[in-house]
Copies of this chain bind each other. A is one copy, B any other.
Amino acid sequence: MADSELRLEITALPSLPEVRPGDDLGEFIARAAPDDLADSHVIAVAHKVVSKAEGRVRVLEQVTPADRARSLAADQDKDPRHMQVILDETQEVLRAEGGVMICVTRNGLVCANAGVDASNAEAGEVILLPVDPDESARRLRARIAELRGVRPAVVVTDSFGRPWRTGQTDVAIGAAGLAPIDDWRGRPDALGRTLRGTAIAVADVVAAAADLARTKDSSQPAVLVRGLGRFVAPADGPGAAALRRAREQDLFR
């Protein structure tokens, strides 16, 4: 095949205002996005601001931990109220050892602490994941399109750890308009041989890459990715739900 002329460009949008429950995050993003915003672009948004705008925040003072939360909190050296919030978001605890809790969230994500986190939260509060991050992505996409007249794809991101490897990478917990997976299975490789088992988790890779365009102490939750038009479609598509491996196909639960 001829050389591809793909060029990816990844830049953070300017700082957004501090986001509070009820804020119109789509408008914040639409205002911050550059003049050349296009249908072919992807905007990756850290879930923290999505969750804040959606009111997915809990004040620890208002949480009463039950026995299970108290007991797990003691084992895990965590605040029992924080533990209660984690359990409220969890459908199954896969592991709880040495201060690390790996949970299956109510919508099927597998991650530490069911995604409940105090970083970038106000003191005494914790931030939850959006109830339905694909729906959050679809709403943001629609709002940006309404305000800007173009319809870039939207990815909602969170930082997940991984078994077997140190460090975290951002993954797509929600997506709208971006093909979550680029499936090459059955297609030929460069030598004309059929590729097996090659399906790139595009939305996760976009989420991860976007995080390199900002620093963790910046207030730049939204990042613009240019050059992935081949994966962007007018329809919102299956979303990041397609990236959750079905339990029966998972060897590590």
Residues of chain A whose beta carbon lies under 8 Å from any beta carbon of chain B: 1, 3-4, 6-12, 14-15, 95, 97, 100, 102, 110, 112, 118-123, 159, 161-171, 180-181, 184, 187-191, 193, 195-202, 204-206, 208-209, 211-220, 227-228, 242-245, 250-253
**Of residues A118, A217, A245, which shows the largest number of chain B Cβ atoms within 10 Å of its Cβ?**
A217
> Which of chain B's residues have a CB closer than 8 A to the CB of A188?
217
Q: Which of B159, B165, B168, B243 contacts A165 (CB 8 A)?
A: B243
Q: In the assembled complex, how far is the CB of residue A170 from the closest CB belonging to chain B, in whole angstroms?
A: 8
> Which of chain B's residues have a CB closer than 8 A to the CB of A219?
1, 190
Known interface pairs A6-B212, A102-B251, A167-B243; 12 further A-B residue pairs with C-beta atoms within 8 A, sorted by A's residue number: A4-B214, A4-B220, A10-B10, A110-B164, A112-B197, A123-B193, A165-B245, A167-B200, A169-B205, A200-B212, A205-B211, A206-B212
25 interchain pairs, CB-CB under 8 A: A1-B219, A3-B220, A4-B213, A8-B9, A8-B213, A10-B209, A100-B251, A112-B197, A118-B193, A119-B193, A120-B189, A120-B191, A163-B245, A163-B252, A164-B245, A166-B181, A166-B245, A167-B199, A167-B243, A170-B205, A184-B216, A188-B217, A190-B218, A205-B212, A208-B208
Q: In the assembled complex, how far is the CB of residue A239 from the closest CB belonging to chain B, in whole angstroms?
A: 13
Complex contact A7–B6 (CB within 8 A): no
> Which of chain B's residues have a CB closer than 8 A to the CB of A220?
3-4
> Which of chain B's residues have a CB closer than 8 A to the CB of A200?
159, 167-169, 211-212, 216
> Which of chain B's residues have a CB closer than 8 A to the CB of A97?
251
> Which of chain B's residues have a CB closer than 8 A to the CB of A6?
11-12, 212-215
A6 to B209, CA, bound (A): 12
Complex contact B1–A218 (CB within 8 A): yes
Complex contact A244–B195 (CB within 8 A): no
A110 to B122, CA, bound (A): 38
**Smallest CB-CB separation from A9: which chain B residue?**
B9
A202 to B227, CA, bound (A): 21
Closest 5 CB pairs of A and B: A167-B201, A209-B209, A163-B252, A110-B164, A8-B10
**Smallest CB-CB separation from A161: which chain B residue?**
B197
A166 to B182, CA, bound (A): 11
